[in-house]
Every structure is written in structure tokens, then in C-alpha cells.
Amino acid sequence: MDDSPRPLRFATRAVGAGRPPAAPDAPLNPPVVLASTYGSFGDLEYGRYANPTWTAFEAALGDLEGGACVSFASGMAAIGAVLELVPPGGLVVAPRHAYTGTVARLRELESRGVLRVAWVDVTDTAAVVAAAEGAALVWLESPTNPALELADIPAVVRGAHSAGALVAVDSTFATPMLQRPLEHGADLVVHSVTKYLAGHSDLLMGAVVARDAALVERVTAARALGGAIPSAFEAYLALRGLRTLPVRLERAQATAQHLLARLGGHASVVEARYPGFGAIVSIVLPDAEAADALVRGVRVWRAATSLGGVESTLERRRRWPGEAPTIPEGLVRLSVGLEDPEDLWDDLAQALPR
């Protein structure tokens, strides 16, 4: 008979990971450590290298993703640390549809000759694998922002590794609750912690998770040398938000699917995009004018550029100059929150063009 303990399930780990050891009078939550300097001859030394409040968050997210986590001041800082793994002049394979910050950073680095970029459609697995020949890094988003396309992560990983390239996956939309790229062989996972992981639109933070110790060491060094460290208080808030990720995302996903069924049949909706999981829905209206009218006409939904919070937000993505020209002018990205599904639908219905 096997008496070994059964592995804890995701929701239980989300609640329990990163807590201090149980002891009489010990706090259940890790404290906020506000320190720039520590006593010498220990593991901390200085506030740019480590902080116990970061460590608690990193332990929790690392446990959920299945690797070692390094936290950063923002999602862009985490992206930048991964791109520093690319050697000078190295080739990066990247999605044509992706977070505009990622695209802008890659274009800026390419313009200075720091690296080269091959832009691909992540849904065309053969094309992605072919582009990986001679590449240093294959960067994936899955689902992509805001087109909501899915990459075949295992197949891309196999092809990229055969070509000698690393694979990094921005899994912000999916979170470790719905997708764990390291289990499919990816080398690095990137998150904008600002979004679903923290979940309350009240902090900026990013994270990189990897299994390979050498990669973790290099990413950690990039954080220390670049100084893109999170504040202790934001790490505390992010860990508190992570505790409720399972219930928040489960509810938001159910509402997103409820809304999708209605949006898909609405006369003014040209297309409703949904990757099959998560709480982001993108709808395409006939033109920019119709999309702008929707965004300005809602009362419960909030017009805002971020996503993943408890409140439902929406925006027309092509209002940003850096958005890909292949994204329709009338595309509106919906980030579904925790309000009553019927209130969200009533609000959309009264604002959609008739």
C-alpha cells in the first residue's frame, strides 16, 4: 500500500504556497519587509538582491508553474530580462500579434542592431519551427493579445529545441491555472503579474519562471544589475491576490463563456473570438466608429487599457499606434471581471450598435 501523501491540488497550493512555517503565534501571512540593507554574512545582504516578501511570492508562483520564479518591477522588466539572454545580433522569432510593449521593445532593439526579429503567425506551427532555424529564442504568446490565437506549444518546443533555440512563453492570459508551459518543455514562462495573478488593478509587477538553474541565475543577475526590482508592498499585494486566483478566474471564465454565446449571435458583431479558455473575449464590430461607440456607451464596463482585474474592462485596440495593422479597426478586447453576468450583458446590449 502506498502511504505517500497525495499531491495537493492547484487551489490548495494557491492558498498555501509561500506561507511561513506553522508555529505558535506565527503570522499566517509573510510580513512586508521594508529594508534596503541587511546584516552582513547572510543570504540577503542588500535590497537590490533579495527581499523576504519577494521570496514568499516567488515560492508560491514557482510552485504553481513548476519552476523557480524571479519577480520584477513590471511585466516589461520581466520581458526585458528574458531578451537579455539573446546574444548580440541573435535572432528572435516572435508573434506578429502580441502585447504591444513586447513588439515595441523588439522593434527598438532590432533598430539598434542588438538583435534580429522574424515575425510569425503562431498558429502556423510549421512556419514557426522553420523560422527557429538559427534562432536564439522563440518567443510565444498563447493566447495572443488581442487576437486570441493559440500556439501549439509542445510542437514548437520540439522544433525550436532541435534547432538549438530557447522557448519563452508569455502566459499572462492563461495563468498557471489554465496552462503551464514548462510542463510542455518551454524554457521560460513570463507573466505580467499586474493582470490576473494580482487581480485587483492596484500594482505593477512581472515574473519569469524557469526550471533550468543556469537560466534562473542569468535572469536573477539581470534583475540585480538592471535594478528592476518589485517593491516589498507590491509583492505582498501580489501574493494576496494570487490566493484567490482559482475562484476569480473560474467565475470570470464562466461569465466570459456566457457572454460569448450571446455576442456571437448579435447582429452588429462581425466576429467573436475566444480561445476556448480564460476570461478574455475579443469582438469585431463593423468599423472603428462602431467600436468607439460601444466603448463610450457602456456604464458597468470600464474603458481601460489593462485587464485581468475584478472589474470588467474593454477597449478598442487599434486606438494604439503600435497595434498590428492586421488587427481589425473594429476589434474590441473584453476583459471579463466578477460582476453579475446579466448586468454585464445588459450593459453591452444597450451599447452595441443596432
**Active site positions, annotated:** 48, 99, 170, 195
Q: What are phi and psi of 141, to 5 degrees?
A: -115, 135
In angstroms, the CA 92 to CA 89 distance is 9
Q: How far is CA 237 from CA 175, 183, 241, 252, 304, in A?
A: 17, 27, 6, 20, 21
The CA distance from 182 to 135, in Å, is 20
Q: Which residues are CB-neighbours of 23 under 8 A, at least 6 positions away?
A: none
Alpha helices in the chain (DSSP H): 10-16, 52-65, 75-83, 100-111, 125-131, 153-162, 175-178, 213-226, 232-243, 245-263, 288-297, 341-351
Does the CA dihedral 64-70-71-75 come out positive or negative?
negative
Query: ∠ CA 277-69-199 to the nearest 5 degrees?
Result: 45
The DSSP code for 181 is: G
Contact between 233 and 29 (Cβ < 8 Å)? no
